[in-house]
Structure 1
Amino acid sequence: MHEYSIVQSLLESCEEHARANDAKKVTKVVVKIGVLSGVEPDLLQTAFDTFKEQTVCHNAQFLINVQKIEILCLDCDTKSTLEKHEFSCPKCQSVNIKVTDGEDMFLMSLEME
């Protein structure tokens, strides 16, 4: 369950941002998780709720935005969002594509007081 180590790193980052901005607490944490990132949103939520005690995120709201797979077709230059895990261009059916979003996890924003 690598979600626990991800949350520990996320909480450390929140602590650093709070210190850098002279904030006493973090009230909201927003992350974006790509469906191909290998991170399970429910497990991440559980890990965050478990480890946020005794941190600046103690009472923080944790919002997870799940990012679908976005591709660029290298043949017809069309950008698309895939609804299924069928890695081909919906316009021309080419498999000569590049994934442009949906593979990573990012800390998108923090609200602090």
Structure 2
Amino acid sequence: MVFVCAQNKLRSPTAEAIFRDSADWEVASEGINHDAETPVSRDLLELANVTVCMEKRHRDVLRQRFKGALPDDRILTLGIPDDYDFMDPFMDPELVSMLRRLVPGRLERIRPRDSK
């Protein structure tokens, strides 16, 4: 599973940190901007079972830039705006709480595919 936001500095790395110990999913994070900490790549998208975008515009960029890298039914959108800090539950527990609530619910109908 790949978590995607704009810069790969706050939301997607926080999601990666929260879900990295999942028994069902291997996780990574990337950003859609060219100057992102880890820019999104076709290779990782093609290997991913699912891509979880923080915003609709991230999904739209992925669809346009990487046509065919991942089927539309494997791209999920959480609707989490860029208003949070990295893994900072003391300052911003809302992001961690939202991720823990939204991600499992959105993944309920998507099961991991066999590893490539």
TM-score (norm 2): 0.33
Higher strand share: 1
Higher helix share: 2
Q: Which has the higher Rg, Structure 1 or Structure 2? A: 1
Structure number with greater CO (CA < 8 Å, separation at least 6) is 1
TM-score (norm 1): 0.34
